[in-house]
């Protein structure tokens, strides 16, 4: 099967920017308190459920995966970029990382207790999100937890040419938080908590966390 062009662009772009991404993006300890609180709540719920491990899908250099492991859950990371996975393994040798795509996760059905997608779905064309969310649901045990964190805003298709100091070919998409919640519901999730924060200096944009349970 031919790989969609957007996946090739995302892979190539993040392979290119990986080292500078690590230098420029804040560590979990330096995140805002609300984001850290959502990650902590997610970890606590997964621990209490006892349904299995957590996949951090689109894990990048693995920092958030390792942060979850530090919160007491068995976590592993998956990312499209082989260079990001290389950096993750080097920085966090006690955590497992693998190359893979969220459009076809290398995971068995209903095997996860939790799945984190932290700022990793905004490069997915909106028409492909139902496929991605269905793949998340397939991988989660009934009652398993999903934490989706990312960008939200009025529908927009962004085509940056530079990212983290390098030329990039990925594209990004903004969709409203309500629409993201609707798509999760359509994939078999019940949204149990939602937090939305304005993106300072970016009118019409926000950061949203959607906590959901597989039904």
Q: 4-24, pLDDT tens digit by residue?
A: 999 999 999 999 999 999 999
pLDDT band at 1 (very low <50, low <70, confident <90, very high): low
Cα-based distances in Å from 213 to 4, 55, 185? 29, 15, 10
What pLDDT digit, counting tens, does each position of 141-162 carry? Answer: 999 999 999 999 999 999 999 9
Hey, is 113 helix, strand or coil?
A: strand
Give the C-alpha separation, 187 to 182, whole Å: 9
Q: Which one, of 3, 7, 13, lies nearest residue 160 by Cα?
A: 13
Give the C-alpha separation, 99 to 116, whole Å: 16
Fold of 5-214: Rossmann fold (3.40.50)
Residue labelled with tokens 């919640």: 181
Structure tokens at 113: 């207790």
pLDDT band at 88 (very low <50, low <70, confident <90, very high): very high
Structure tokens at 151: 């960008």
Does this model's pTM top 0.75? My answer is yes
Strands 140-153 and 205-214: antiparallel
Strands 172-174 and 156-158: antiparallel
The predicted structure's pLDDT at residue 204: 87
Q: Which one, of 56, 112, 111, 106, lies nearest residue 84 by Cα?
A: 56
* Residue ranges covered by each domain of the chain: 5-214
């Amino acid at each position: 099967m031919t790989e969609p062009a957007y996946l090739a662009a995302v892979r190539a772009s993040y392979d290119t920017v990986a080292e500078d991404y690590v230098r420029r993006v804040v560590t979990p300890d330096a995140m805002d308190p609300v984001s850290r609180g959502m990650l902590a709540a997610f970890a606590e719920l997964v621990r209490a459920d006892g349904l299995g491990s957590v996949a951090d899908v689109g894990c990048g250099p693995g920092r958030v995966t390792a942060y979850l492991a530090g919160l007491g859950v068995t976590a592993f990371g998956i990312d499209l970029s082989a260079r990001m996975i290389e950096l993750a393994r080097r920085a966090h040798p006690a955590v497992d990382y693998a190359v893979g795509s969220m459009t076809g996760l290398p995971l068995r059905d209903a095997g996860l207790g939790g799945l984190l997608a932290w700022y990793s779905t905004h490069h997915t064309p909106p028409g492909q999100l139902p496929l991605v969310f269905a793949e998340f649901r397939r991988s989660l045990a009934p009652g398993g937890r999903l934490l989706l964190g990312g960008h939200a805003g009025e529908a927009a298709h962004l085509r940056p040419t530079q990212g983290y100091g390098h030329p990039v070919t990925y594209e990004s998409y903004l969709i409203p938080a309500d629409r993201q919640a609707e798509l999760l519901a359509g994939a078999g999730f019940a949204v149990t908590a939602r937090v939305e924060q304005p993106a300072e200096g970016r009118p019409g944009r926000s950061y949203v966390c959607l906590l959901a349970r597989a039904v």
